[in-house]
Structure 1
Amino acid sequence: MIDFTVVDLARMQFAATALYHFLFVPLTLGLSFMMAIMESVYVMTGRSIWRRMTLFWGTLFGINFAMGVATGIVMEFQFGMNWSYYSHYVGDVFGAPLAIEGLMAFFLEATFIGLFFFGWDRLSKVGHLIVTWLTAFGANFSALWILVANGWMQNPVGARFNPDTMRMEVADFAEVIFNPVAQAKFVHTVSAGYTTGAMFVMAISAFYLLRGRHVDLAKRSMAVAASFGLASALSVVVLGDESGYVATEHQKMKIAAMEAMWETEPAPAGLTLFALPGKDGNSFEVKIPWVLGLITTRSLNTEVPGIRPLVEHAETRIRSGMQAAADLDAIKADPKNQAAREAFAANWKDLGYGLLLKRYRDDVENATPEQIRQAALDTVPDVAVLFWSFRIMVAMGLYMIGFFGLALILSTLHRLRQTPAFLKVAFFSLPVPWIAIESGWIVAEYGRQPWAIEGVLPTFYAASSLSVTDLAISLGFFVTLYTALLAVMVYLMVKTIKAGPASYALIEGIQGSSRIPDAAAAHPSR
């Protein structure tokens, strides 16, 4: 029998490492493009203040990137350590984009980052600018392949189960790459990263303006961050709408849980603005008519299915999965049984639903009606967690649109220094994008439960056969290690920020030269 304590500990460990890692990734994505924009202005104008800005924010980017690498490497190893059956079952499909990311995208990104730090005095202005832009695109290219892999977990297209190898195998790699869920997740995620980078620059620049330090750098940085941040925040909302539309097609249960929607909403479906979800219904709710239908179906005549009807549909697929499991047993007993192969080919897409019964018995084809019903109920994620996580994410997103809009107005009117109240708000808004991002991660990943691969492989069935002691020790080790790394990162960031633009000597020190041009030192606004 499956030890669910082991499964829970394995899930906790992956969730902890992923949440830690995702503290660094969005800032890397955002700062990379901010650096490229600033260096572009330097190359076009020749004003050294923009070079100093690129160097300063580049130092912070480098610290964050190093921590992202340190925390990200472990995550891929966990698939072999804690999720060995997952690796066996879907490794042929899932491993391909991860391999491409590691062997191509990451190494290209790392190469460009090396040239960024070492190439200031070795490359021409235009040559170094190209390197900086390639660093930004390389970071996004790396994120693309990770999200292709993750998108396949949400919508497993382009693959089929091979009864001879007992594994999922690639049938159409182009379909895996151009998976609509993966593409929607990619643009939504990188836009969130851009917003994070913009908020980071805004907050640190506001800190400088409040202290009256490094004013030339701070006001220019805020001007760039305000416009870049507003465009990014607006794109997050628009692209998030696309993610909702795609999820409605492929992850109906997730959408129903996010809305705490227990019964099917007739067209046009209303959006639940506020509710008090329980285990089997809402004790109170406030709806906005039509909005959910427009977001999720792009129409006014399509209904949105609720949790209870989706549970009933899951029962139907579980029964089909039981037949697929029986056909698979017949194939294993007699590989030449053509009738069993034809029957399995008709039902294999429901095999994952049959595997949900493994939670209750090994011979799934003999499951009782009560066990089938319970397995169907297991397809419902925690409604309250999804409902509130989604609303926190949306609230933070709307706040950032208003914030960056006001920042752009004040920057255009040159009123930032004369508005200390806004500068204080900007400084204390630093955690906002991370709250939104981590909430979004919970919606995307926790909302997929009970599936490791949506409709294909239950999470509990994907775990390795480890002991509770093994996982408790490794969980404690990783949480301790990642907390220490986070503390080191915060320490280095704070130290660099306190030092201010002078800290760009870190980059020039790497090159063996900390020379500051005399003209730039005498006229820092040049």
Structure 2
Amino acid sequence: MDPAVVDLSRLQFALTALYHFLFVPLTLGLSFMLVIMESVYVMTKRPIWRTTTRFWGTLFGINFVLGVATGLTMEFQFGMNWSYYSHYVGDIFGAPLAIEGLMAFFLEATFVGLMFFGWDKLRPVTHLLVTFLVALGTNLSALWILVANGWMQNPVGAAFNPDTLRMEVTDFRAVLFNPVAQAKFVHTVSAGYTIAAVFVLGVSAFYLLKGRYVSVAKRSLTVAAAFGLASSLSVVVLGDESGYALTDNQKMKLAALEAMWETEPAPAGLTAFGIPDLKARKTHDEIKIPYVLGLIATRSLDRPVAGIFELVAQAETRIESGVVAYDALETLKADPRNLAARGVFETHRRDLGYALLLKRHVADPRTADKALIQKTAWDTVPNVPVMFWSFRIMAGIGFLMIAMFATAFVLVTLRRHNTRWFLMLAVAAIPLPWISTELGWVLAEVGRQPWAVEGVLPTFLAPSSLSVGQILTSIVVFTLLYGALAVVEVGLILRTIKKGPFAEQEAFPSGAPGRPGAAPAGEAVA
């Protein structure tokens, strides 16, 4: 495979995935915030809560459409740009995606229309149930996508079949309850809830700074403060669980994001700051926080954490074992009844993927010498500086979000909604959680390299047989199309925010009694 084709295929998927994930987390979080707001309306029967729910529901709808459109494009890429990946592991990876379409996507697609157009046709309690089902659908959709992605990070419940030369499911329950997938799901949805809370907090703060739609803004700010504090705390707690999952399943990723070249003896300390040096293979000017890494990674103070050098040595051993498996597999291709070769393959089969890493350098892994195996073992190390700084920026923003929401919760509890310095901070902070979540995906996907599926299929073997020109053309088309969609998305959101929560009442005379969602006196448009 031409290295340029591999790199461009990765770039294209990265661009579409990161763009898609601009919309997904906001959808995840806003859906349940709508449930909370509408629940208050159903319980209190106060029209202002109905107006508040419908306003944020409009913004949810705009974002929902873009999320669906960009998600469909991504799924087509598996067959078009990553055909060998789809052939090799499609039996496992395709199942969660199919269930996501049948269960989650159809659920949210069925009820989202009722949510938007059923306000005056359904009873309040029934409409609340519809809103909840939309929220449930969006979050179930994320669950199945992350089950698929979690399997790529930790391929449990599947095995390579030497007769079909493909990976096949052996235990779907193990795939579903994969610890990496479950940790990624709860961490990702919590991040989505935080993004939605920051969005609602920031827009509400903007209204309060301008003195507009004050009643809706104060109520929205209150909901966002409580929801955001719980969500941001969950992100950190569940992120810790993700770190623990790395210890057993992706040790190299953990070592890379810590820029930990040597094995860290117990109790392992967390590097708060350092300057990773790839050439020297060391980290300069380290500032460590004692005990923290040991507690996160091993839940103990007496277990060491493996460093990059140790893990590269283990990779070298696994490559050598994988070459034995590869040789036995080639024998089985010629003679499927060769029991001796099958026995050798069964003994070394778990390392077959490591032998495939050699195909970057030689056509036949069996021809590789010791020096090439040692060189290839270092290919298992992801980009350490990218991992190191992505993690620290992501974590720093996470703790900043906790501080901001804690402050917001205190202020709304004291009914000091108009604290100007905080309102300005809330508006300025709107982009931060998006930056954090995008860096989280960089950690997840760059940290898995050089694997498309950890320990099973190298990324450079996974793409389709496309030309550089074809991929460049599609990247340009995607960039122009997604750029135009981004302009439309942002324009619609800004226009909706500018029109405000009472835009639905423009068709009624000012002050007309009985108009839908009418606000009490003094709560109309400023």
TM-score (normalizing by structure 2): 0.97
Residue 221 of structure 2 aligns to a residue whose secondary structure is helix
**Identity across the alignment (%):** 65
Q: How far is 1:282 from its partner?
A: 1.3
Deviation at 1:341, TM superposition (A): 1.0
Is contact 1:321-1:352 (8 Å) kept? yes
Cα deviation 1:152-178 (Å, max 9, x = unaligned)? 000000000001110000000010000
Give the superposition deviation at 1:502. Answer: 2.5
- The alignment partner of 2:26 has SS state of helix
- Cα 1:229–1:140 shift into 2, 3 Å: same
In the other structure, the counterpart of 1:438 is 438
Kept in 2: contact 1:10–1:82 (CA 8 A): yes
SS of structure 1 residue aligned to 2:246:
helix
In structure 2, C-alpha distance between the alignment counterparts of 1:485 and 1:385, rounded to whole Å: 29
How far apart, CA to CA, are the structure 2 residues paired with 1:101 and 1:516?
42
Corresponding residue SS for 1:245:
helix
Distance 1:504 1:63, change over 3 A: farther
Corresponding residue of 1:396:
397
In structure 2, the residue matched to 1:191 is 190
Number of the residue aligned with 1:99: 98
* Greater CA drift, 280-289 or 13-22: 280-289
Aligned partner of 1:64 in structure 2 is: 63
Q: What's the counterpart of residue 216 of structure 1?
A: 215
SS at match of 1:152: helix
Distance across 2 between alignment mates of 1:150 and 1:70? 20
1:156-213 C-alpha deviation (Å, 9 max, x unpaired): 0000000111000000001000000000000000000000000000000000000000
1:378 paired residue number: 379
Residue type at the aligned position of 1:485: L
Alignment correspondent of 1:44: 43
Assess, with a 3 A threshold, how the Cα gap between structure 1 residues 425 and 438 changes in structure 2: closer, same or farther: same
Where do residues 160-199 of structure 1 align in structure 2 (5 Å cutoff)? Answer: 160-199=159-198
Deviation by residue 1:455-481 (Cα, 9 ceiling, x = unmatched): 000000101111000000001111111
- Distance across 2 between alignment mates of 1:222 and 1:519: 19
Structure 1 CA distance, aligned partners of 2:349 and 2:502?
A: 62
Cα distance in structure 2, aligned partners of 1:401 and 1:57 = 23
Distance 1:344 1:202 in 2: 58
After superposition, the Cα gap between the structure-2 partners of 1:341 and 1:238, relative to the gap in structure 1 and judged at 3 Å, is same
Secondary structure at the aligned position of 1:273 is classed as strand
- Measure how far apart 1:283 and its partner are: 2.2
Q: Distance in 1 between matches of 2:504 and 2:490?
A: 18
Give the corresponding residue for 2:359.
358
| C-alpha displacement of 1:9 | 0.2
Preserved contact between residue 396 and residue 436 of structure 1 (Cα < 8 Å): yes
- The 8 Å contact of residues 274 and 287 in structure 1, kept in 2 or not, is answered as yes
String of CA shifts for 1:22-49, please: whole Å, max 9, x gaps.
Answer: 0000000010011100000000000000
Structure 1 position 492, deviation (Å):
0.2
Give RMSD over aligned pairs.
1.6
Give how far 1:439 is off: 0.8
Helix, strand or coil at the partner of 1:464 = coil
Q: Shift in Å at residue 343 of structure 1?
A: 1.1
The Cα shift of 1:346 comes to 1.3
Q: Distance in 1 between matches of 2:339 and 2:117?
A: 63
State the alpha-carbon separation in 2 of the partners of residues 278 and 464 from structure 1: 34
User: In the aligned structure 2, how far is the partner of 1:193 from the partner of 1:24?
Assistant: 9
Q: Which residue of 2 aligns with 1:141?
A: 140
SS in 1 for 2:518: helix
Is 1:203–1:429's contact at 8 Å kept on the other side of the alignment? yes
Q: Is 1:48–1:525's contact at 8 Å kept on the other side of the alignment? A: no
Q: 1:461 to 1:517 in 2, by over 3 A?
A: same
Aligned to 2:330: 329
**Is the contact between residue 158 and residue 170 of structure 1 (CA under 8 Å) also seen in structure 2?**
yes
Paired residue secondary structure (1:378) = helix
Change in CA separation of 1:110 and 1:524 when aligned onto 2, cut-off 3 Å: farther
Rounded to whole Å, the distance in 2 between the matches of 1:168 and 1:284 is 44
Gaps of 5+ in 2: none
Corresponding letter in the other structure for 1:163:
P
Partner of 2:119: 120
Contact 2:213 / 2:523 at 8 angstroms: preserved in 1? no
- Determine the structure 2 residue equivalent to 1:12: 11
Against the structure 1 CA distance between its residues 119 and 326, is the aligned structure 2 distance closer, same or farther, given a 3 Å change threshold?
Answer: same
Per the alignment, residue 523 of structure 1 pairs with: 521
- 2:521 and 2:297 map into 1 onto residues whose CA distance is 55
Q: Are 2:339 and 1:338 aligned?
A: yes
Q: 1:427 to 1:230 in 2, by over 3 A?
A: same
SS of equivalent to 2:380: coil
Deviation at 1:521, TM superposition (A): 4.4
Mapped to 2, the partners of 1:398 and 1:505 lie a distance apart of: 40
Aligned-pair CA distance for 1:525? 5.2
Q: Distance in 1 between matches of 2:456 and 2:134?
A: 37
Cα distance in 2 for partners of 1:521, 1:163 equals 69
Aligned partner of 1:108 in structure 2 is 107
Structure 1 alignment gaps of length 5 or more: none
Report the residue type matching 1:287 in the other structure. Answer: K
- 1:501 aligns to what SS in structure 2? coil
Q: Name the structure 1 match of 2:482.
A: 482
Work out whether residues 49 and 524 of structure 1, in 8 Å CA contact, stay in contact via their aligned partners in 2.
no
**Is the Cα contact below 8 Å between 1:324 and 1:351 reproduced in 2?**
yes
User: What's the offset of the Cα at 1:520?
Assistant: 2.0
Compared CA separation, residues 268 and 521, structure 1 to 2 (3 A): closer
Return the letter of the residue paired with 1:523.
A
Q: How many Å separate the matches in 1 of 2:309 and 2:443?
A: 20
Counterpart amino acid of residue 185 in structure 1 = K
For 2:380, the aligned partner's letter is T
- The 3 A distance-change label for structure 1 pair 127 and 435 is same
| In 2, Cα distance between equivalents of 1:445 and 1:484 | 26
- Kept in 2, the 8 Å contact 1:276–1:284? The answer is yes
> Is the Cα contact below 8 Å between 1:38 and 1:54 reproduced in 2?
yes
TM-score (norm. length: structure 1): 0.97
In the other structure, the counterpart of 1:226 is: 225
Task: Give the Å deviation of 1:504.
Answer: 4.2
**Aligned partner of 2:200: which letter?**
V
Give the corresponding residue for 1:27: 26
